[in-house]
Each structure stands twice: as structure tokens, then as C-alpha cells.
């Protein structure tokens, strides 16, 4: 076990890993602790970890910013972290609680519990499930993305896949698909009408309004209330 950092300021941990399994635990601590075979380099508030062992566990202070790259590892991030960016080809990525996420994958399965700010996900064919987020910017080619509760503006793009977004606040939605399906759900009591330019207008209880712009070639973009 290697304690590598003790700082009270915002910490960034950058991890590149060829391991089978990478687990990051954000907990009440001031340092960064690496369990497993890894080369660790510290530069100010930034710690860079290059892991080659089969399994690695990295313990970080709460709300640490993370930048992670793997090929096909199982990536688990537990506890509240800050901004997190993950690039992976396949495998499985789960993030419990982050300020914001940016996840790019070819076919990995992605699960995000909650983010307070932006949730950005790019996938080709993987399945993505996002619980609660601020704004959402999601893209899939042929996979399926589910955003259960977005509390900010939403950008959803799919080629032939499927995107489902639950909108919880009066924010704009920009949805675009070639031949896929994008489905937006608004809360019960929100009125949806069509504008002159064929975009949709949502009228929320309390008087707030927002727009849903949809662009499709042969796909389908629809809105319903629950």
C-alpha cells in the first residue's frame, strides 16, 4: 500500500490501467492510497497512476477529480467524486455519485447513479443507464441510453439506437436521430404544444416554458407525460 498524497486542496487523480479490475473509493481521507501494482507519479495536486496489475484499488478524498483510461477493465467508482472522465473500449463502468461525468466507450455497459452537473456519455453499442443528473449530453450509435431524471438542458443524439430521457425541470431538449428513437418523458401536469416551427413547447406548472427541438431523417422523436 502506497500513500502518495496529502493535500487539503482540490485533487486530481489520473489513472491509466490495463488491469482487469479498477476500483476507486472516495472516502473521508486526505491522501491518495494505491493498493495493487502501479507506478505512481505526483505533480502538485495531480497524481498520475499507471497500473499494470490484475486488480487495483485507489482510495481518494471525497470529491476528487478523476481521469481514467482503460481498455476493457471493470471500473467501479464508489462514493462521491468530483468531475470524472472515463475512456474505455468495453467492460463495465459504474459511477455512484459525481459532480459531472464524461464517459466514452465502444461497447461497455455504463451505470451512473447521480451527477449534480453535466452528464456526458458517448457510446457505440453499449447500454447506458443514468439515474439523476444536471444537464445531459448523450450520444449512441446503436446502443440504448436511459436518463431517468434530467434536471437541466438535454442534448440527445442517436443514429439507429434508442435514447429515453425523463425531464424533471423546465429546460430545453435538443434531440436528433437518423433512424433511431428518442423518447422524452415530462412530469404529469406539463402541457406539450407544437410551435409554428414544428418544435415542441412545454408549459410547466408555475408558468415556466421550455422547448423540445427534434430532428430526424426516418426515426422517431416523441414526448409523453407520466
Partner 1 sequence: MTVTDYPVIVGSVLFTDLVGFTEYNEAVGDIEALRVLDEQRSLVDGHLDGQDARLVKEIGDGLMIWIGSAVGGLSLATCLLEAFAGIHESGTFPLAVRMGMHHGESIARGDDLVGQTVNVAARISALAGPGELLVSQELLAACGSAHAQESLRPVGPVLVKGLQHPVWLHRFATS
Query: Of the candidates 28, 30, 22, which has an alpha carbon nearest to the alpha carbon of residue 79?
Result: 28
CA distance 181 to 193: 20
Closer to partner 1 by CB, 48 or 225: give it. 48
CB of 188 to partner 1, least distance (A): 31
CA distance 41 to 20: 21
Closer to partner 1 by CB, 208 or 217: give it. 217
Cα angle at 117 between 116 and 118, to 5 degrees? Answer: 135
Closer to partner 1 by CB, 132 or 156: give it. 156
CB of 199 to partner 1, least distance (A): 12
CB of 14 to partner 1, least distance (A): 7
CB of 225 to partner 1, least distance (A): 28
Closer to partner 1 by CB, 97 or 137: give it. 137
Closer to partner 1 by CB, 32 or 93: give it. 93
CA distance 145 to 130: 8
Which residues form the interface with partner 1 (CB under 8 A)? 14, 16, 18, 50, 67-71, 85-87, 102, 104, 106, 120, 122, 137, 139, 141, 157, 159-160, 176, 178-179, 215, 217-218
CB of 66 to partner 1, least distance (A): 9
* Neighbouring residues of 104: CB distance < 8 A, sequence distance ≥ 6: 86, 87, 88, 121, 122, 123
- Say whether 208 sits in a helix, a strand or coil: coil
| H or E stretch at 181 | strand 181-186
Amino acid at each position: 500500500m502506497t500513500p502518495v498524497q496529502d493535500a487539503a486542496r482540490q485533487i486530481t487523480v489520473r489513472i491509466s490501467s490495463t488491469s482487469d479490475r479498477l476500483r476507486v473509493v472516495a472516502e473521508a481521507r486526505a491522501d491518495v492510497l494505491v493498493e495493487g501494482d502501479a507506478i505512481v507519479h505526483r505533480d502538485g495536486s495531480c497524481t498520475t497512476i499507471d497500473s499494470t496489475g490484475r486488480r487495483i484499488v485507489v482510495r481518494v478524498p471525497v470529491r476528487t477529480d478523476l481521469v481514467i483510461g482503460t481498455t476493457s477493465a471493470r471500473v467501479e467508482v464508489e462514493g462521491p467524486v468530483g468531475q470524472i472522465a472515463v475512456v474505455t473500449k468495453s467492460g463495465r463502468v459504474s459511477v455512484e455519485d459525481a459532480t459531472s461525468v464524461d464517459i466514452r466507450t465502444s461497447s461497455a455497459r455504463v451505470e451512473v447513479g447521480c451527477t449534480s452537473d453535466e452528464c456526458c456519455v458517448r457510446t457505440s453499442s453499449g447500454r447506458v443507464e443514468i439515474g439523476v443528473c444536471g444537464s445531459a449530453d448523450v450520444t449512441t450509435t446503436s446502443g440504448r441510453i436511459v436518463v431517468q431524471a434530467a434536471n437541466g438542458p438535454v442534448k440527445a443524439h442517436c443514429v439507429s439506437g434508442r435514447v429515453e430521457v425523463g425531464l424533471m425541470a423546465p429546460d430545453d431538449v435538443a434531440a436528433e436521430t437518423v433512424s433511431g428513437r428518442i423518447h422524452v418523458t415530462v412530469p404529469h401536469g406539463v402541457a406539450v404544444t407544437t410551435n409554428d416551427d414544428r418544435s415542441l413547447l412545454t408549459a410547466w406548472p408555475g408558468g415556466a416554458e421550455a422547448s423540445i427541438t427534434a430532428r430526424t431523417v426516418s426515426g422517431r422523436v416523441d414526448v409523453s407525460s407520466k
